[in-house]
Chain A
Amino acid sequence: MIVVTRRGVSDAEIDRIRERIEQLGLRTHISRGEHRTIIGCIGDEARLAEASLLSLPGVESVTPVMKPYKLAAREFVAEPSRVRVGNAVIGGPALAVIAGPCSVEGRDMLRTTAQSVKQSGAALLRGGAYKPRSSPYAFQGLGVAGLEMLAQVRAETGLPIVTEVMDTRQVEEVSGFADMLQIGARNMQNFALLSEVGSVQRPVLLKRGLSATIKELLMAAEYIMARGNRDVVLCERGIRTYETATRNTMDVAAIPVLKRETHLPVIVDPSHAGGRADLVAPLSFAAIAAGADGLIVEVHPCPAEALSDGDQSLTLEGFGRLMEQLQPFATAVARPLGGAATSPTGTAAA
């Protein structure tokens, strides 16, 4: 249920409306837009029948939200959400590009990659310190040493860092380094992990599961948001189909559907979707044309020597070319390509 208030509603009137709803054991969530304020109700909506909300001063309309997700629903907020990550913004007017290696393999390779992708226009740096691999014998990541390298390269380049957290036991440690926590596709329905990242004040990049429906993706986001963390960015990264020519099948239609269903920013991972470096550019063009708010792209100084996902990584030059080729698509959707990142930054700790 959402309550839309009249223009010029006072703080006291909003307080009264929220109290009336909360008296019935529900919780409220407020979204103040330029023209209207929306009060979202979470809980047993049947109880609201006795609240006679329409009779309260300041209330313009009361509408049920017939969806299993509420906090993530587009109707729940006045304006689409912008998620600030360090000095970058995802979901703002500018398209945000996250780039970097699949996994952090060493300080030098990370530094070289970060400097280069920044030069080419990336706003954020990705890099895995903990890697979910299909084989227990494959490279599992550098762990805390990798996190320290990411933090050092952030200090040098100013690029906020996005890195994956795989386990509830890692959340605190990774949050100490990362500007944004990534939940990988394989963990999209790890509800214990979703709850844990919902409790920390770090933006979350939530990747769609390999066989998850759009509704399941949104319910996963709802899990995080229900714990108080509203800074969630969704990522379409390809789903599993019968097609074997590509690693996954990029669900282009998911982008406009998500943009209609939710206020959360939506980005696309063309590297995992196609699984091949030569597919990254065309899939990126499609993503931007379909309305994505940004991209997350794997880049490696020497993909042939990469310890993971070398086939789908762009070279540094290849990423530079991609950013140039993206320009006309960005112009077509009337959004600048960038997303900020100019001065060095760090995660603050009081």
Chain B
Amino acid sequence: MSDPDALAELARIRDAIEQLDRDLVALVARRVGLARRVGAVKRAAGLPILDPPREAAVVRRAGVLAREAGLDDDEVRYLFWHLIGLSRRAQLEERAPDA
């Protein structure tokens, strides 16, 4: 890889990936923020915090969307279990919701 055009193209794509990563992290932060609000609402209403059927439905939907997008649904499901783990911890936090 010494062709200057190829190197410039690689740099452009990497810039785009970097921007996308920033957006992804911002989206994850928003999702966690929403989960925190859900936790507060559930607590106020006396509802259980953990909701495995809801989690299973979220993951199933993510798998379907992944297939439609031409991605490996199993890999995307795996990512979503991680995301759900983050959100679950946020819901369990005993603190007032942000904004």
Contact of B59 among A22, A24, A25, A350 (CB under 8 A): A22
CB interface residues, B 59-90, toward A, < 8 Å: 59-60, 63-64, 67, 73-74, 78, 81
Which residues of B lie under 8 Å from residue A23 when comparing CB positions?
52-53, 56-57
A19 within 8 A of B: yes
CB interface residues, B 22-73, toward A, < 8 Å: 52-53, 55-57, 59-60, 63-64, 67, 73
B95 within 8 A of A: no
B14 within 8 A of A: yes
Chain A, residue nearest B73 (CB): A11
Write the nearest CB–CB distance from B3 to chain A, whole angstroms. Answer: 16
CB interface residues, A 26-65, toward B, < 8 Å: 27, 30
B7 within 8 A of A: no
A232 to B59, CA, bound (A): 26
Which residues of A lie under 8 Å from residue B56 when comparing CB positions?
18-23
Write the nearest CB–CB distance from A308 to chain B, whole angstroms. Answer: 36
The answer to whether A15 and B53 touch across the interface, beta carbons within 8 angstroms, is no
B11 within 8 A of A: no
Which residues of B lie under 8 Å from residue A350 when comparing CB positions?
14, 17
A228 within 8 A of B: yes
The answer to whether B78 and A22 touch across the interface, beta carbons within 8 angstroms, is no
The answer to whether A30 and B57 touch across the interface, beta carbons within 8 angstroms, is no
The answer to whether A15 and B52 touch across the interface, beta carbons within 8 angstroms, is no
**Inter-chain CB contacts under 8 Å: number:** 30
CB interface residues, A 4-25, toward B, < 8 Å: 11, 15, 18-25
CB interface residues, A 265-301, toward B, < 8 Å: none
Write the nearest CB–CB distance from B17 to chain A, whole angstroms. Answer: 6
The answer to whether A15 and B64 touch across the interface, beta carbons within 8 angstroms, is yes
The answer to whether A27 and B14 touch across the interface, beta carbons within 8 angstroms, is no
The answer to whether A15 and B81 touch across the interface, beta carbons within 8 angstroms, is no
A20 to B57, CA, bound (A): 9
Write the nearest CB–CB distance from A269 to chain B, whole angstroms. Answer: 32
The answer to whether B64 and A22 touch across the interface, beta carbons within 8 angstroms, is no
Which residue among B57, B63, B81 has the maximum number of chain A CB atoms within 10 Å of its CB? B63
Which residues of A lie under 8 Å from residue B78 when comparing CB positions?
228
Which residues of B lie under 8 Å from residue A25 when comparing CB positions?
52
Which residues of B lie under 8 Å from residue A228 when comparing CB positions?
78
Chain B, residue nearest A16 (CB): B60
Write the nearest CB–CB distance from A41 to chain B, whole angstroms. Answer: 12
Which residues of B lie under 8 Å from residue A27 when comparing CB positions?
81
The answer to whether A15 and B14 touch across the interface, beta carbons within 8 angstroms, is no
- Chain A residues with CB under 8 Å of chain B are 11, 15, 18-25, 27, 30, 228, 350
The 14 listed contacts between A and B (C-beta, < 8 Å) are A11-B67, A11-B73, A15-B60, A19-B56, A19-B57, A19-B60, A20-B56, A23-B52, A23-B53, A23-B56, A24-B52, A25-B52, A30-B74, A228-B78
